[in-house]
A and B are shown apart, each in its own frame.
Chain A
Amino acid sequence: MTTDVHQLDDGAWISVNDSREVNVSDLWLLARSDFCGCETTDLLAEGFVEVGVDYLDIQARIAGQCISCGESGVTDWLTVGRVVDPDSGEFHGVVHESVHFPAKRTRLASPKE
């Protein structure tokens, strides 16, 4: 089956195949990020600005704030989870407390029609 991904309710959560999977208000640890000057960004997710799919990975750009230094902004693309079984659409979210590495994206989140 195809995987359907979107953010809803002003970016409050990410839906994967019509199931609410990733919510705002969690803290994400980001390393090697230019989000702020901290060695590790302690990011409060306040909203999901964009979502996309990189084959099985579900990715998002998160609007938020580093709670260590107070810098606000939008992250580069972060993997927020993976569709582990493309047939059933089963999704496993990443452990947001682990360290994540945001990346610039080279492909379009939404392919041109």
Chain B
Amino acid sequence: MPTKVENWKDEVYGNEIREHLMEFAEQGWDAIPEDEHDAWFERFKWWGLYHQRSGQESYFMMRIGTPNGVIKPGQLEVIGEVAKEYATGPVDNPEFGEAYCDWTTRQSIQLHWIKLEDIPEIFEKLEAVGLGTQQACGDSWRNIVGCPVAGKDKHEHVDAWPVAEDLHETFKGNDDYSNLPRKWKVAIAGCDEGCGQGDINDLAFEPAEKDGELGFNVRIGGGLSRKEPRLARDIDVWVPPEQAADVAHGMSSLFRDYGDREDRFNARIKFLMDEWGPEKMRSVLQEEYVDFELPTAGEDMRDQYSYNTGSQDGHNDHVGIHEQNDGNYYIGLNVLVGRMGADDVLELAELADEYGSGEVRLTQRQNIIVTDVPEENLDAFTSEPLLENYSPDPSPFMRGSIACTGTEYCSLSIVETKNRQVRYARWLKDNVELPEDHKDFHIHLSGCTASCAQPQIADVSLRGMKTRKDGEPVEALDIGLGGGLGDDPRFADWVEMRVPADEVPGAIKNLVNNFEDAREGGETFRDFVADRDEETLAEMVEPEETDYHDPYMHNTKMTWYPYAEDDDMQSSPAPTDGSGEPLPSDD
């Protein structure tokens, strides 16, 4: 029997949702019939709007999908203006102020505290410069990810940007693919560094050569969500760039038709891959969904991958100053936990215009890249005061930090994340020395098993949990070690569970010290973990209270907003009207 969500989607879904959304926005929050809230909020996701968590009713998270993370000249300024004007909530965030943008691990943008009534104006402003929220969430083609410097990278073999753009144009708003059983995540990259992160996507195009021609090998069924992480599997298909859209059509149609619509927990294509295996996946694709002979896989470049490999050699991310293929430079700026104040966004837009082409790009490590900077502008640009906070040469602990949204706004999360990870990074920077040969050390904090911070592919993986301390429930984290990508990708081993959140920095300090003492020769952290059993590793993680102070140990999910002076759920102003004034309660 189809799920309720499927029934709602059968009634209204895809492009047609917009008309209803605009009507509701014009009439105000109260216009959404109370007994249709769940159905409409599920549908609004398709237009990039996610109803915020309990206690924040009537406010939405808005996600803007920027394919491949490319923000064209003129767009960043509008993003900053929209954030400043519309993404201000009832209470400021103590670390980030009143309005900010989140750069996500899928090269998208998230704004919070968006009011329904403001959506038409926001859409108008975004669409005027070619930005949009369509299919940023919901059961459809999501934002396409890839190498963030596609088209500019010296390590590139195939320029994947026009292919990504073509896929975006072909599959966004296309009614044939607008109602899939679940989300559909696609990655495409043409460089030899592996920064497309194809291994954790539903459909991945990776650079490969076949008979002297450059194109892509195809992998299917990766993903990290729940406690079921999967690496995408090779289906032995190579495709030239001009036929990538045909294979993408075939695979997303196959998913549309064969994906499980009766159990949303089993709907992602990784579960169909579990059931079928790569050979059947290939044969069904060939026989039912493409009208040309699929070539077998070409020779890939995975043995050259350096991105997130823990090798401490080559590109592990895009932070820093790097020469482009045209002689200009791109400068990757570190954005701690991906959150940037709206005023800073506006200032960066000006700087990108002044020193570069005005284009910026988002990475899958929640950072931002300013592209097309001529060599003669480098000194002046990197001397700008803004770059003191968004450094191209940050501490490894600042550089390696990723955090999801957490209980600040998200229904799924178990713990507070972004502000906590900011505090962790600062404390680690001041108190922990990595071995000199370790410049990259990734710590990812995800509030729950949905894994939006991609914890399984970090050196140190943190996942939201609870425990009791002195009998009282407190926020805690499971600690995993040794995850990463590359030719031989590996998910973290979860070695120490339910560590009180205020003991995690001490645990990481002890771990790093124990690693330095016990490592053999030039052993990298990732190899060190791979070569030891879980018990040995668990002994090296010694949770300990330190002078680190964690203000979020209580159950932040029980608050209406964790940083409000009066955070009691009953004190929430929500739901509010279009001007932010509380609406009368039915009680």
Contact = CB atoms under 8 A, between A and B. Distances in A.
Interface of A: 4, 6, 8-13, 15, 17-20, 23-27, 42, 44, 46-47, 49, 65, 67, 70, 72, 110, 113
29 contacts: A6-B38, A9-B412, A10-B225, A10-B226, A10-B265, A10-B412, A10-B450, A11-B265, A12-B412, A13-B54, A13-B411, A15-B38, A18-B35, A24-B412, A24-B448, A25-B407, A25-B414, A25-B464, A25-B555, A44-B414, A44-B466, A46-B449, A49-B265, A67-B465, A67-B466, A67-B467, A67-B498, A70-B497, A72-B227
Given A6-B4, A25-B413, A18 B38 contact: yes
For the complex of A and B, the 4 pairs showing the least CB-CB separation, nearest first, are A12-B411, A18-B37, A25-B557, A12-B412
Nearest to B32: A18
Q: How large is the interface on B (under 10, 10 to 19, 20 to 34, 35 or more residues)?
A: 35 or more
A8 B38 contact: yes
Contacts of B264: 10
B42 interface: yes
Contacts of A6: 4, 38
A94 to B, nearest CB: 15
Contacts of A49: 265
Nearest to A15: B38
B20 interface: no
A25 B38 contact: no
B274 interface: no
A20 B560 CA distance: 13
Given A13-B54, A27-B466, 10 more contacts: A8-B5, A9-B412, A10-B264, A10-B450, A24-B414, A25-B555, A26-B558, A46-B449, A47-B449, A67-B466
Nearest to B34: A18
Interface in B450-483: 450, 464-468, 473, 476
Nearest to B475: A25
Interface in B398-442: 407, 411-415
B415 to A, nearest CB: 8
A9 B452 CA distance: 14
A25 B450 contact: no
A70 B35 CA distance: 39
Greatest chain B CB density within 10 A among A13, A18, A47 is at A18
Contacts of A70: 497-498
A53 B60 CA distance: 30
A31 to B, nearest CB: 17
Greatest chain B CB density within 10 A among A23, A25, A26 is at A25
B1 A110 contact: yes
Contact of B42 (A8, A13, A27): A8
Contacts of B414: 24-25, 44, 46
A72 B478 CA distance: 13
A67 B468 contact: yes
B411 A9 contact: yes
Interface in B205-255: 225-227
Contact of B35 (A4, A23, A24, A67): A4
A4 B5 CA distance: 13
B36 interface: yes
A25 B465 CA distance: 8
B19 to A, nearest CB: 21
A30 to B, nearest CB: 15
A15 B448 CA distance: 20
B368 to A, nearest CB: 29
B473 A27 contact: yes
Interface string B52-80: 01100000000000000000000000000
A47 B464 CA distance: 13
A19 B54 CA distance: 9
A95 to B, nearest CB: 13
Contacts of A65: 465
Nearest to A20: B54
Interface string B550-585: 000001011000000000000000000000000000
Greatest chain B CB density within 10 A among A6, A23, A113 is at A23
Contact of A25 (B5, B466, B497): B466
